Structure 1
Amino acid sequence: MKLITRFEAASHTTAELQGLYREAFNALAAAPRGSQEQRNALASFNNVRRELATRRLGF
Structure 2
Amino acid sequence: MGKARLKAVVTAKGSSCSHMAILAKNLGIPAIVGVGTFPENIDGKQGTADTGAGKLFIGQV
- Same fold (TM > 0.5): no
- Which is richer in strand? 2
TM superposition score normalised by structure 1:
0.28
Question: Greater RCO between the two (CA within 8 Å, min separation 6)?
Answer: 1
- Which is richer in helix? 1
